[in-house]
Amino acid sequence: MASPVPSVSELVQEARRTYEQVFGGEAPEVAVCAPGRVNLIGEHTDYNQGFVLPMALPMVTVVVGTRTSGQSVSIVTVTKDVEEPNRVDFNLPSDGSPLSPGHPKWANYVKGVVQHYRAQPVPGFRAVIASSVPLGGGLSSSASLEVAVYTFLQQLNPDDGDKVAKAVACQQAEHTHAGVPCGIMDQFVSVLGREAHALLIDCRSLEATLVPLSDPSLVILITNSNVKHSLTGSEYPTRRRQCEEAASILGKASLREATMKDLEDSRDRLDNVTYRRARHVIEEIERTSQAAEALKRSSYKIFGKLMVESHNSLRDLYEVSCRELDELVAAAMEVDGVYGSRMTGGGFGGCTVTLLQAHVIDRTILHIQERYSGSPTFYVTTPSVGAQVLRLS
């Protein structure tokens, strides 16, 4: 059956208890949270200036803490399955010099956000982090941590409150301190997600359109393959480079500007791999616009068909799927009442997202469990709100 997700208040309680234990009985003054995300369609299109259609999840990262008078920062994570130390202490450089990434790795997201925070200088602080976003599961645990830390810093030393600039600063943190040249999708939806809505984000203009998604006859099921192949790290920057190369050969600023006709006209100037990468992106951008339209009309069959086309293209043209994700999608699609299913996120493991009729949820979970060669985890989710300040009562 589907796994329960701890509530935000349970996470806050846990973080608070740890804070009081670790920091000598003192109570935290601030609490914030920011969600993970699932992308419904529009994969590997964000760094090509295209469209994406994610929604924020009920799984969140919580930060509780207090501003201190000095320059020192102490952070503890309650996450138990990290192999690294769960506490880090460092001093904020007083001369504005950069905070270098190092160990533990999880602290690099915090350092990156401190570095890129838009209202410098960042004051000293103590904080505890707790999260219900599965780590490394492709549901943006890192973006939710970045956005939660940024939201925390906003309570200590407010910036101008520009939400898009906040997402961009968190994306920068990921680039410089985690070494992942990601697009804007994860941080954007973690900041701007809305309850009962998916977000159609135009990654060129950085404008978003809310698409209602609260039909009670519909369920959004996330299935975690619980595998993560080691390719993820090296393949993502390679894909990004291939797309930039394709755009440059086509004489375009990005693949967003290119049509399939442009691509076919230049086919003999592209090697086969670059051609296939570009084709996925150009068609996926188009599929994402169509899918958003279909969702607005409640045309779930069309939406589901586009999801499957997206998955097949990620598998065959973009080559970022893997056997486990393909198995999960194939199993889901065997159940009557399932509209569509696809891998979600960067690929090479992580999760699939499936859209189905609410009344077939139990049957679908059972069927996937039976057919999948690994051991999956299931989450039944609803579109949730973006980053928030929480009351500490």
Q: Give the catalytic positions in this structure.
A: 186
SS3 160: coil
Residue 272 CB, nearest approach to ligand GLA (Å): 22
179-182 own/partner pairs: CB under 8 Å, 24+ apart: 179/101, 180/142, 180/233, 180/236, 180/237, 181/47, 181/236, 181/237, 181/240, 182/46, 182/47, 182/236
Helix (H) or strand (E) holding 210: strand 207-212
Binding of ligand GLA by 185 (CB under 6 A):
yes
- By CB atoms closer than 10 A (0-12, 13-18, 19+), residue 216 is exposed
CA–chain centroid gap for 219, Å, is 20
Candidate residues 19, 23, 47, 117; the one interacting with ligand GLA per rule CB under 6 A:
47
Decide whether 345 or 383 has the Cβ nearer to ligand GLA: 345
Determine the Cα–Cα distance for residues 75 and 128; give it in Å rounded to an integer.
Answer: 6
Candidate residues 146, 186, 309, 327; the one interacting with ligand GLA per rule CB under 6 A:
186
Report the 10 Å Cβ neighbour count for 38. 26
Residue 370 CB, nearest approach to ligand GLA (Å): 29
Q: Which region, judged by CB under 6 A, interacts with ligand GLA, from 41-49, 89-97, 272-280, 332-340?
A: 41-49
H helix intervals, the chain: 8-22, 106-116, 141-156, 163-173, 185-192, 232-249, 260-265, 272-296, 300-316, 323-333, 361-371
Please choose, from the candidates 326, 383, 318, 369, the residue with its C-alpha nearest in 3D space to the C-alpha of residue 350. Answer: 326
Binding of ligand GLA by 193 (CB under 6 A):
no
Binding of ligand GLA by 182 (CB under 6 A):
yes
Q: Which region, judged by CB under 6 A, interacts with ligand GLA, from 7-15, 43-51, 324-332, 377-385?
A: 43-51
Decide whether 16 or 342 has the Cβ nearer to ligand GLA: 342
Binding of ligand GLA by 183 (CB under 6 A):
yes
Binding of ligand GLA by 146 (CB under 6 A):
no
Residue 227 CB, nearest approach to ligand GLA (Å): 16
- By CB atoms closer than 10 A (0-12, 13-18, 19+), residue 172 is middle
Binding of ligand GLA by 177 (CB under 6 A):
no
SS3 101: coil
Residue 164 CB, nearest approach to ligand GLA (Å): 15
Q: Indicate the length of the chain as a whole number.
A: 393
Decide: 196 and 213 in contact? Cβ < 8 Å: yes
Binding of ligand GLA by 345 (CB under 6 A):
yes
Query: How many chain residues interact with ligand GLA (CB under 6 A)?
Result: 10
Query: 74: which 2 tokens?
Result: 């102490």
Please choose, from the candidates 254, 151, 277, the residue with its C-alpha nearest in 3D space to the C-alpha of residue 205. Answer: 254
Q: Which region, judged by CB under 6 A, interacts with ligand GLA, from 23-31, 42-50, 205-213, 361-369?
A: 42-50
Decide whether 129 or 182 has the Cβ nearer to ligand GLA: 182
Residue 350 CB, nearest approach to ligand GLA (Å): 9
Binding of ligand GLA by 43 (CB under 6 A):
yes
Decide whether 46 or 309 has the Cβ nearer to ligand GLA: 46
Query: 73: which 2 tokens?
Result: 């920062």
Candidate residues 12, 18, 44, 364; the one interacting with ligand GLA per rule CB under 6 A:
44
Binding of ligand GLA by 263 (CB under 6 A):
no
Decide whether 185 or 270 has the Cβ nearer to ligand GLA: 185
Residues forming contacts to ligand GLA in the complex (CB under 6 A) are 43-44, 46-47, 182-183, 185-186, 345-346
